């Protein structure tokens, strides 16, 4: 453990402790926020009682499916676009402006097309995540050093071998950056659309608990989202660091 | 102009695809491009649209200035202090990845319904990218700049305004471009849940009524505004990069 991670853990622990203390001393009233320890025990209770397991399963299925669809199709669209430089030139200004458009506005259209359920939620999450993957693929392919392709030619590798043994490993760190973003955007897309309009899912459950003044359920579920995002991020960052380390070797 | 022709053709192709999709799934689900434009123009004749645009613009202006000032100030502080930056970066990246909509009950409880929670939502979305861009720009700045400032015996304030900020201006513009889009998204999401006014409210209200033409018209208006602002900032960005 280096000094930074010690300080970081201390900072996070201190922040949680501060909120805990403020809640316990009722400086933050019980009606506004419940103490973090209570959120956590309530979350454990909810998970073991299985009250929300259907919603949790629904959300995570959506997140996993949309992340996979976005990553795989984004990668292949990226490859395709990269092989057509003129089309790419036309597309690039649009890609640069893509995230300026509030995608969620189009959610009602998807509901009419796909109905309320998995389809429309996955569609909006994919729409949000795919462009990050396309951009990352394009950057990754751009950054492959020419010398690597030349050595592949010197070794008389076939096109497929070059792609598999040279180009893919060389572009991998950039691709993984896209994967990280795509996972984060799928998460945001799924939870947010469940919030706006849905009949199940974690986002829906939080909105439902909020509307019915069930603040212990609401905070427990919010904590669940926070913890899962943090864990997924930590796992992805771990792989990312290993990839970066390999590149520098 | 020659340079923009392919993009223009691509946009035409997208509009054609929109028309085809409209023909495939019917006017009840998706209005055609022409219907959307005429509906938007007829809406532009009403006072209702302009009050909503004004509300959104006001909330956005507050949120953007707070995100901009906060992001740059915190970014400079965390960028100059290496240890603080290294401690804070993973926390900030994690906050960036959280679906911030989940926190909306908390924001509502803290700020109440109305303008302040819309602004809070916008700041929550927009501040972190501006902060991260500023911080990384300072970290990657050539060390010789700061050494020169030291040699010239500039005070910290002088080196901030005459060395640091001009050196990282291109990155700040890139961060602001991202922050702009996210702040707008945050304000709109805030309006969807926590307001009775604004374009986000209009959209969510139309959603409840199943009023697809209005949704599409609002979406078109927002897309045009967002893409125009983004393209302007991209041009500024390119100009600064070439300096």
pLDDT in tens, B67-124: 999 999 999 899 888 888 888 888 888 888 888 888 888 888 888 777 888 899 899 9
A15: its two tokens: 């922040």
Question: B-contacting residues of A 179-208, CB under 8 Å?
Answer: 184, 187-188, 190-192, 195-197, 203, 206
| B123 within a domain of the structure (yes/no) | yes
B232: its two tokens: 């302007």
Cα distances (angstroms) measured from residue B232 to each of A97, A99, B132, B176, B177: 10, 15, 22, 12, 9
Interface check B231 vs A, CB under 8 A: yes
Q: pLDDT at position B60, please?
A: 92
The mean pLDDT value for A148-166 works out to 86
Q: What is the mean pLDDT of each run of 10 residues along chain B (243 residues)?
A: 76 88 78 85 85 90 94 90 85 84 82 85 90 88 85 87 86 86 87 81 82 85 86 83 68
Report the distance separating Cα B182 and Cα A99, nearest Å: 8
Which chain B residue's Cα is nearest to A12?
B91
* A155: CB partners within 8 A, 6+ apart: none
| B186 within a domain of the structure (yes/no) | yes
H helices present in B45-164, as ranges: 47-80, 82-97, 104-111, 115-139, 143-151, 156-159
Interface check B207 vs A, CB under 8 A: yes
| B9 within a domain of the structure (yes/no) | no
Place of tokens 């930590």: A234
**Total domain count for chain B?**
1
Question: A-contacting residues of B 178-197, CB under 8 Å?
Answer: 178, 180-182, 184-185, 188-189, 192-193
Chain A interface, best mutation among B90, B102, B106, B183, by max A CB count within 10 A: B102
State in Å, rounded, how far the first CA of chain A is from the last one: 22
| A78 within a domain of the structure (yes/no) | yes
Q: How many CB atoms lie within 10 A of CB A8?
A: 17
B135: its two tokens: 């911080």
Q: pLDDT at position B25, please?
A: 78
Q: Please write down the HEC assignment for all residues of A199-238.
A: CCCHHHHHHHHHHCCCHHHHHHHHHHHHHHHHHHHHHHHH
Q: Which residue has the higher pLDDT, A181 or B30?
A: A181
Partner residue facing B103 (CB), from A93, A97, A222? A222
We report the CATH number of the domain holding residue A151 as 1.10.3720.10
Report the distance separating Cα B120 and Cα B140, nearest Å: 30
Report the distance separating Cα B44 and Cα A99, nearest Å: 25
Mean pLDDT of all residues belonging to chain A? 86
Domain span holding position B93: 51-241
Question: B-contacting residues of A 97-126, CB under 8 Å?
Answer: 97, 99-102, 104-109, 112-113
Tell me how many residue pairs between chain A and chain B have CB atoms under 8 A apart.
143
| B44 within a domain of the structure (yes/no) | no
| A188 within a domain of the structure (yes/no) | yes
Q: Which of helix, strand or coil describes residue B81?
A: coil
Interface check A175 vs B, CB under 8 A: no
| B72 within a domain of the structure (yes/no) | yes
| A146 within a domain of the structure (yes/no) | yes
ipTM of the complex, rounded to two decimals = 0.80
| A174 within a domain of the structure (yes/no) | yes
Q: How many CB atoms lie within 10 A of CB A64?
A: 14
| B171 within a domain of the structure (yes/no) | yes
Report the distance separating Cα A140 and Cα A79, nearest Å: 10
| A3 within a domain of the structure (yes/no) | no
| B33 within a domain of the structure (yes/no) | no
Report the distance separating Cα A141 and Cα B10, nearest Å: 23
Interface check B30 vs A, CB under 8 A: yes
Least-confidence region, from A37-41, A110-114, A203-207, B163-167: A110-114
**Total domain count for chain A?**
1
| A75 within a domain of the structure (yes/no) | yes
Report the distance separating Cα B26 and Cα B28, nearest Å: 5
Question: A-contacting residues of B 135-164, CB under 8 Å?
Answer: none
Which chain A residue's Cα is nearest to B24?
A113
| A58 within a domain of the structure (yes/no) | yes
Q: pLDDT at position A62, please?
A: 92
Domain span holding position A200: 38-248
Cα distances (angstroms) measured from residue A172 to each of A76, A83, A126, A180, B168: 14, 18, 21, 12, 29
Q: pLDDT at position A248, please?
A: 60
Nearest-neighbour CA in chain A from B60: distance (Å): 14
> What is the biggest distance separating any 2 CA atoms in chain A, rounded to whole angstroms?
73
Q: How many CB atoms lie within 10 A of CB B172?
A: 21
Q: At what angle do helices B199-209 and A107-114 cross, to 10 degrees?
A: 20
We report the CATH number of the domain holding residue B229 as 1.10.3720.10
Q: At what angle do helices B165-194 and B199-209 cross, to 10 degrees?
A: 30
């Amino acid at each position: 453990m280096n000094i930074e991670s010690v300080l970081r853990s201390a900072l996070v622990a201190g922040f949680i402790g501060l909120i805990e203390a403020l809640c316990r001393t009722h400086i933050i009233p019980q009606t506004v926020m419940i103490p973090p320890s209570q959120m956590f025990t309530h979350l454990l209770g909810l998970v073991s009682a299985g009250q929300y397991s259907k919603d949790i399963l629904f959300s995570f299925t959506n997140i996993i499916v949309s992340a996979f669809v976005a990553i795989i199709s984004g990668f292949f669209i990226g490859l395709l676009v990269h092989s057509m430089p003129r089309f790419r030139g036309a597309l690039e200004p649009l890609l640069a402006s893509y995230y300026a458009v509030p995608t969620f506005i189009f959610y009602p259209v998807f509901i009419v097309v796909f109905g309320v359920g998995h389809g429309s939620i996955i569609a909006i999450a994919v729409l949000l995540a795919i462009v990050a993957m396309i951009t990352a693929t394009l950057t990754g392919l751009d950054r492959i050093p020419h010398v690597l392709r030349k050595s592949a030619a010197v070794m008389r590798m076939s096109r497929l071998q070059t792609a598999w043994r040279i180009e893919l490993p060389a572009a991998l760190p950039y691709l993984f950056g896209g994967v990280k973003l795509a996972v984060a955007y799928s998460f945001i897309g799924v939870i947010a659309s469940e919030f706006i309009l849905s009949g199940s899912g974690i986002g829906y459950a939080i909105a439902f608990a909020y509307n019915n003044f069930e603040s212990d359920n609401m905070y427990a579920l919010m904590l669940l989202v926070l913890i899962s995002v943090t864990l997924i991020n930590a796992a992805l960052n771990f792989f990312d660091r290993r990839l970066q380390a390999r590149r520098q070797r | 102009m020659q340079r923009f022709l392919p993009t223009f053709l691509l946009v035409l192709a997208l509009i054609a695809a929109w028309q085809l999709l409209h023909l495939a799934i019917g006017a009840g689900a998706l209005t055609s491009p022409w219907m959307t434009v005429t509906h938007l123009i007829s809406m532009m004749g009403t006072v209702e649209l302009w009050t909503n645009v004004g509300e959104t613009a006001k909330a956005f202006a507050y949120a953007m200035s707070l995100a901009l000032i906060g992001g740059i100030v915190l970014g400079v502080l965390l960028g100059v202090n290496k240890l603080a930056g290294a401690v804070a970066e993973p926390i900030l990246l994690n906050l960036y990845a959280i679906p911030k909509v989940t926190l909306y009950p908390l924001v509502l409880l803290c700020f109440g319904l109305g303008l302040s929670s819309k602004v809070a939502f916008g700041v929550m979305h927009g501040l972190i990218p501006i902060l991260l861009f500023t911080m990384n720009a300072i970290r990657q700045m050539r060390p010789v700049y700061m050494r020169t400032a030291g040699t010239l015996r500039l005070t910290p304030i002088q080196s901030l305004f005459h060395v640091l900020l001009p050196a990282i201006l291109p990155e700040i513009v890139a961060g602001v471009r991202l922050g702009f889009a996210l702040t707008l998204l945050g304000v709109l999401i805030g309006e969807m849940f926590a307001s009775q006014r604004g374009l986000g409210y209009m959209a969510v209200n139309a959603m409840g009524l199943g009023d697809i033409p209005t949704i599409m018209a609002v979406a078109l208006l927002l897309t045009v505004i967002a893409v125009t602002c983004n393209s302007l900032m991209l041009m500024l960005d390119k100009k600064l990069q070439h300096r």
